[in-house]
A = this chain, B = another copy of it.
Amino acid sequence: MTPNATSSETDRYERGRRALAEIDGEAGEAVVASLADIAPDFARYLLEFPFGDIYSRPGLDLKSREIATIAALTAMGTAAPQLKVHIRAGLNVGLCRQEIVEIIMQMAVYAGFPAALNGLSVARETFAEAGV
């Protein structure tokens, strides 16, 4: 196996910053900023791996990527703050309110009704803040 990694670390970091800004907007930047005092390197990893590596990959459009993330975070039930950021992200990349509600409701089948109910609570709050 040979690595197809020709870009420098700085390129990857900048690509991650752009992806974060496009996808998560201000909410994502607030997460990065909040890490400055406690774990600044972790802010860098967050930009580089999830955003610089994963979300920047071809092969799956951003709308599909946010469907996957909203579904997973709802099903896990341990990541309300991150679910909120990604419901905003879903709206940013073109999912409509009803599609997001459909994804969350569907999780009742796979992770149970409490997971879906708690996901809908996060969605209600996020939609209110986003004015949709």
Residues of A near any B CB (own CB < 8 A): 1, 3-10, 12-13, 31-50, 53-55, 57, 59-60, 64-65, 67-79, 81-82, 98-99, 101-118, 120-121, 123-124, 127
Contacts and interface: CB of A to CB of B under 8 A. Distances in A.
Contact of A110 (B60, B69, B110, B121): B69
A39 B101 contact: yes
B59 A108 contact: no
B5 A6 contact: no
The copy count of this chain in the complex is 6
A49 B109 contact: yes
Contact of A72 (B53, B71, B78, B82): B71
A123 B12 contact: no
A7 B98 CA distance: 23
A55 B106 CA distance: 8
Contacts of A76: 75-78, 110-111, 114
Contact of A113 (B44, B55, B110): B110
Contacts of A40: 1
A78 B118 contact: yes
Contacts of A31: 117
